[in-house]
Amino acid sequence: MKQLLLVFLGGGTGSVLRFLISRSLNRAEVLPLGTFTVNILGSLLIGLVLGLAYRHNFFSTNAVLLLATGFCGGFTTFSALAYENQIFLKNGDFLSFGIYVVSTVAVGIAAIYAGIWLSRYVAAF
């Protein structure tokens, strides 16, 4: 039951923060900057948390559930990414679709690696 509560609390916090960031950054621009930002920040954070947890034993299993599964799971949003890309395709905006998909996946994976790399320096403190 404790683990479910940790995931619930982390997920709720991440979802609220995602809503606030997306609401402030998703304007009528070419790409949905808010969704892109939360997905990249979430990728960086999950890389950092998991790097600290698994490489350096910095976080307990419960902390990983709260931060990685809960917070990052609630903070990032694949469904919004999929929906926004569906709109690009429906409108025939194949260039924005391609840029958004490729940049989100490539930068997201790079952010995970950056988080894992940063975990070495955070663990040194």
pLDDT computed for residue 28 by the predictor: 63
Please give the full DSSP string across 42-96, using - where no structure is assigned.
HHHHHHHHHHHHHHH--S-HHHHIIIIIIIIHHH--HHHHHHHHHHHHHTT-HHH
Rounded to the nearest 10 degrees, the angle between the axes of helix 78-90 and helix 94-123 is 160
Instruction: Kindly give the parts of the chain with pLDDT less than 50.
Output: none
| Gap between the Cα atoms of 69 and 73, Å rounded | 5
- Indicate left, alpha or beta for 68 from its phi (over 0: left) and psi (-120 to 50: alpha): alpha
**What domain range is 41 assigned to?**
2-123
* Total number of domains in the chain: 1
| Gap between the Cα atoms of 90 and 84, Å rounded | 10
pLDDT computed for residue 51 by the predictor: 93
Residue pair 62/2 in contact (Cβ under 8 Å)? The answer is: yes
pLDDT per position as a tens digit, 88-97:
999 999 999 9
